[in-house]
Structure 1
Amino acid sequence: MNRNEATKYKGSTVLVDKGIEGVFYGRLEEVFTPPKKTWSGKVFILGLAKAPELEAADTIDEKKNVYVTVPGSKIHLPDMEWNLSFNESVVQAIQSTINELFHTSNQQLQAAEKWQEIGLIYGDISFPSPPINKKENQKDDDPYVYYQIQEKDGSLYLTESVNGDKLDLDGCPFELEIQKAGSTWIPVTYKQYYTFQDNKGKEHRAKKDNWVRIHKEQFQPFTILLNELEHPARKSLLNRIRSFGFNQNNLVDCHNRLLYELLQSEGTSSFKGVNFLTFRKPGKTLLIQHHYERTLHTDSPDYVFDRFECTTDNGERSISTYTNAYSKDHES
């Protein structure tokens, strides 16, 4: 809204963005348009449209029935009618925040409970149904597993509070997500001591006990198998599966021996074996034998060989191989 538009809305309801202190609505009383300067407006605050950050919650009362003068860039037109009392608006804003925290992650339970305490000053506040279970780390239908960052002897690891599972952060093969201020999760990779990096190269610092989540799909043997393949081999395998009329949802069994060897053979640098994949849908079954060879080198690229033998129960057959022995993109 520019200065010319602003004068047309004197006496109307507008939104005032106070940053971390929340978004309020009120009546635009005056518009100041000094020449060669940005315009500003004087607004009489009537209620709360969006709750502030938790650390600024104690500033809510400071805005009740007061005049504020803010730059025009902080004043916006609402997209709905606001006719609640101040206390009713606070209850609604806090309730919305609790609902968002609840549905984003049960790990925000403490923040939601703190908001409930603040909200009860103004009126009734309830948790969404079904209620948050303090004894549970996450809901059964949550697609993520949640971990906390812990440290021992200068090394960082992740611990899952329900089953006590632990994952070392150094060399962690999974895609991680950490939580920014508020409830936004961002994909990251672990870089070094409490430092993570997102896909744009921006670094994010974490602290002990901060939450990290991993999508459950990454623990599936087939997903882990795909992650162990180089890009051309992975692309070839997925294309082969689709060419036979199947997709990942048709997978009924994945025997991932390569994963077993990588986890169990500490100190071993050479692996050779076969993985078995079975895909099935009504009237058709696909069996894939994945013959693999891996030789790990310290000072040169690892040797990789993959051979996929695909056979359906109606006699269709296909064979493809990949190796990086010639070039990273060589495939036959």
Structure 2
Amino acid sequence: MNRKEAQAYLNQLVLIDKGDHGRYYGTLEDLIAEERKPWRGKVRITGVERYPKISSELSQLPKPVFAENDLVEEPGVNIFPCNDNSLSYNHSLADALKERWDQLQETYTNSEHLLTQIQQYMKQLKSEKLLTEDTYIYYQVFEKNGEMFMYDEEKGDKLAIEGCPFEFEIKTNGRWEPAHYDDHGHFITFDEKLIKLKPSDDVRLNKKQFDPYYILKNELEEPALDALESGMQRLGINHEHCMYCHNSLLIQLLSSIEEQEFSGVNFISYANENQQFIVQHHYERTIQDEEDDITFDRFEFTSDSGERLITTYATQVSNE
């Protein structure tokens, strides 16, 4: 806008457009209008309208160029009128990050490191729930050659129901209820009701069941999970602080159906407001048909300050 228009926006909300470095809300506090020179404005930053550009070539997440309450001097060519913004700086920042998150998920397939950094930043802003708004995957039930399947119309994915390890939700009396699959199109709800679904009926799965960390927690026997949580509690972290989980046990289980013995290491990272932690989860599994499985779990915690801690659970003495 020109300097005459800018006069009308004194002490009003404007936008600063920094191109690939983002767009920012602010209050136009003053004009610098020297003769025969382009006008400039002094703007007090109040929010983030668009987060800086993120690409998969970057190794680090770019940060906003302006922080809350910064007083910046910008050429008039970068300043624009804008609609009212009632969000706080952190709230607007979280919304802008969420928009970039959606773009990365849709556009890039090799951007996990950047998505992880966004997730960590969102946790610091206490806004990570924005990333899990689309919690469920919806399927329609159909039958083919006597076998039951689920079909995702949006993505075209087909999934056999028989032997599926996930917990489903089915709609009964207008509301969703947790249930597990029995057979021949029948599902059993938690209160033991047997419900038969018809072709084209809907079922849904909570996406968290595909999360490697969620799967790992469910795979651990209760004493092993207690050992993990005991170490976490002593270091001041909890499951909500998990940033990344490499679940090699899941990979082995899925790729080696005939194998009865597994061993390896999972890597889990956590971060709270003050520290970051890495956990090496050493495991051994022996699957037995007639007896209880033999398991061994050792959790080695290391903080970025050098603190170390080990917790262990075993059904019998490990080979280590």
Relative to the length of structure 1, the TM-score reads: 0.52
1:294 paired to 2:285: yes
Task: Show CA shifts across 1:129-170 (max 9, x none).
Answer: xxxxxxxxxxx9331111122323322232222222333323
Task: Show CA shifts across 1:186-216 (max 9, x none).
Answer: 0111122211112222222222222111112
1:219 paired to 2:215: no
Which residue matches 2:134? Answer: 142
Match of 2:265 among 268, 274, 280: 274
Structure 1 residues 207, 323: CA separation in 2 closer, same or farther (over 3 Å shift)?
Answer: farther
Which residue matches 2:169? Answer: 177
Structure 1 residues 308, 186: CA separation in 2 closer, same or farther (over 3 Å shift)?
Answer: same
Which residue matches 1:160? Answer: 152
Unaligned runs of 5+ in 1: 1-139, 327-332
Structure 1 residues 162, 242: CA separation in 2 closer, same or farther (over 3 Å shift)?
Answer: farther
Paired amino acid for 1:178: I
1:185-224 map, 5 Å? 185-224=176-215
Pairwise CA distance, 1:298: 2.7
Structure 1 residues 297, 243: CA separation in 2 closer, same or farther (over 3 Å shift)?
Answer: same
Paired amino acid for 1:254: C
Which residue matches 1:311? Answer: 302
Paired amino acid for 2:135: P
Paired amino acid for 1:142: D
Pairwise CA distance, 1:325: 4.2
Q: Which of 1 and 2 has higher RCO (CA within 8 Å, sep 6+)?
A: 2
Paired amino acid for 2:195: H
Q: How far apart, CA to CA, are the structure 2 residues paired with 1:167 and 1:191?
A: 16
Q: How far apart, CA to CA, are the structure 2 residues paired with 1:244 and 1:233?
A: 17
Pairwise CA distance, 1:295: 1.8
Identity score, percent: 41
Paired amino acid for 2:171: Q
1:260 paired to 2:226: no
Task: Show CA shifts across 1:44-95 (max 9, x none).
Answer: xxxxxxxxxxxxxxxxxxxxxxxxxxxxxxxxxxxxxxxxxxxxxxxxxxxx
Pairwise CA distance, 1:252: 1.8
1:251 paired to 2:242: yes
Q: How far apart, CA to CA, are the structure 2 residues paired with 1:220 and 1:313?
A: 25
Pairwise CA distance, 1:273: 0.6
Which residue matches 2:225? Answer: 234
Query: SS state of the match for residue 192, structure 1?
Result: coil
Where has structure 1 moved over 4 Å in runs of 4 or more? none
Paired amino acid for 1:269: Q
Residue correspondences, number:
186
Q: How far apart, CA to CA, are the structure 2 residues paired with 1:171 and 1:302?
A: 20
Q: How far apart, CA to CA, are the structure 2 residues paired with 1:161 and 1:239?
A: 43
Larger Rg: 1
Residues 187 and 195 of structure 2 are in contact (CA less than 8 Å); yes or no, is this contact kept in structure 1? yes
Query: SS state of the match for residue 186, structure 1?
Result: strand
1:151 paired to 2:143: yes
Query: SS state of the match for residue 234, structure 1?
Result: helix
1:320 paired to 2:311: yes
Q: How far apart, CA to CA, are the structure 1 residues paired with 2:275 and 2:205?
A: 34
Relative to the length of structure 2, the TM-score reads: 0.54
Query: SS state of the match for residue 262, structure 1?
Result: helix
Q: How far apart, CA to CA, are the structure 2 residues paired with 1:302 and 1:244?
A: 30
Pairwise CA distance, 1:280: 1.6
Pairwise CA distance, 1:289: 0.7
Task: Show CA shifts across 1:165-192 (max 9, x none).
Answer: 333323322221100132x000111122
Residues 231 and 310 of structure 2 are in contact (CA less than 8 Å); yes or no, is this contact kept in structure 1? no
